[in-house]
């Protein structure tokens, strides 16, 4: 049984942080797996139709690696250039939508993992755009890991901090630090307008756990559990009408895309936002429980 507000959760987290100085709780959490863990996706970097999400927000990513274009008359903002070989696919989507790739003025990322940031150097070279990254992820961008999983280094134009604003052409994006997945994992919060209405948009960086074993005895990231817990609290408090994410599967892209133009905008999904955070929090505690017991 899962109890986010119960004393058991606090005891479990304390147990993990104390590195076995406390007894492991007797209650074992039932497995909580996301749909994409149960049925892994394939061909995630394949082309995907660029499309309008709402207002001046467009999807220009691949089959799963999500990239978003926020447009204006003074230039555009691109969130997540993905892999190096994703950049040409992103460029094609941008241009099919009637925009110029060279008009991208600012490049942002959700977090410093290669599937979202490896294309930064190429996109910067092609556009001349500024690169802005959350402070805790800057080292991984300017001095990326060598070998497998590595990517070209990029000099950062502006170092961001929690709740910093990125402004361009009337758009104001707020960088919300939601760490855990990486130390500088960033969720982007902003507003857009359509048909006279204003909508709150949240692009969740990622609040998933790639490796359960990273949650205990992690000398490189000793406060990882605290950070995840903080991020869940922060995200729950953010108003959201349109929820998007760094992976299409995380906000139901394949299910929502076919519904475009066939009724209400499928991306207006505040209930889906809450459900996603709840699912990811439950999955986090299940993985923490599993890791503590090993």
Q: Is residue 103 part of a domain?
A: yes
Number of domains in the chain: 1
Question: Helix, strand or coil for residue 232?
Answer: helix
Report how far residue 141's alpha carbon sits from residue 151's, in angstroms, rounded to the nearest whole number. Answer: 9
Identify whether 13 is part of a domain: yes
Q: Which residues, 6 or more positions from 250, have their beta carbon under 8 angstroms from its beta carbon?
A: 36, 66, 204, 206, 208, 276
Looking at residue 23, what is its pLDDT? 55
pTM summary value = 0.91
pLDDT digits (tens, 9 = 90+) for 219-241: 999 999 999 999 999 999 999 99
Closest CA to 238 of 204, 262, 210: 204
Q: Is residue 17 part of a domain?
A: yes
Residues of the chain with pLDDT under 50: 1-11, 13-22
> Is 34 among the domain residues?
yes
- Determine what percent of the chain falls in helix, strand and coil, rounding each to the nearest 5: 35, 20, 45
Instruction: Specify if 57 maps to a domain.
Output: yes
Residue 2 within any structural domain of the chain: no
Within-domain flag for 205: yes
The CATH number of the domain holding residue 21 is 3.60.15.10
Question: Would you state the structure tokens that stand for residue 120, as one six-digit string?
Answer: 């930064």
Residues 81-92 pLDDT 10s: 999 999 999 999
- Asked if residue 132 belongs to a domain, the reply is yes
Q: 150 lies in which domain range?
A: 7-293
């Amino acid at each position: 049984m899962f109890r986010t507000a119960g004393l058991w959760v606090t005891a479990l987290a304390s147990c993990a942080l104390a590195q076995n100085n406390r007894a492991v709780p007797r209650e074992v959490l039932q497995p909580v797996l996301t749909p994409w863990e149960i049925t892994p996706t394939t061909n995630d970097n394949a082309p995907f139709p660029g499309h309008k999400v709402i207002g001046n927000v467009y999807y220009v990513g691949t089959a799963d690696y999500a990239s978003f274009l926020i447009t204006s008359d003074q230039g555009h903002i691109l969130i997540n250039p993905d892999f190096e070989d994703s950049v040409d696919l992103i460029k094609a989507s941008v241009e099919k939508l009637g925009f110029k790739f060279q008009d991208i003025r600012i490049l942002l990322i959700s977090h410093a993992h290669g599937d979202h940031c490896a294309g930064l150097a190429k996109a910067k070279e092609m556009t001349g755009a500024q690169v802005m990254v959350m402070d805790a992820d800057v080292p991984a961008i300017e001095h990326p890991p060598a070998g497998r999983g590595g990517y070209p280094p990029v000099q950062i134009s502006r170092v961001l901090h929690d709740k910093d604003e990125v402004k361009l052409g009337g758009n104001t994006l707020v960088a919300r630090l939601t760490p855990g997945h990486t130390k500088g994992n960033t969720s982007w919060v902003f507003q857009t307008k359509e048909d006279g209405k204003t909508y709150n948009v949240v692009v969740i960086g990622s609040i998933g756990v790639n490796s359960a074993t990273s949650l205990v005895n992690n000398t490189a990231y000793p406060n990882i559990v605290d950070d995840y817990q903080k991020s869940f609290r922060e995200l729950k408090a953010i108003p959201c009408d349109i929820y998007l994410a760094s992976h299409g599967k995380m906000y139901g892209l394949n299910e929502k895309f076919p519904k475009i133009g066939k009724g209400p905008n499928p991306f207006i999904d505040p209930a889906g936002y809450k459900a996603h955070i709840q699912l990811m929090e439950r999955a986090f505690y299940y993985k923490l429980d599993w890791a503590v017991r090993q």
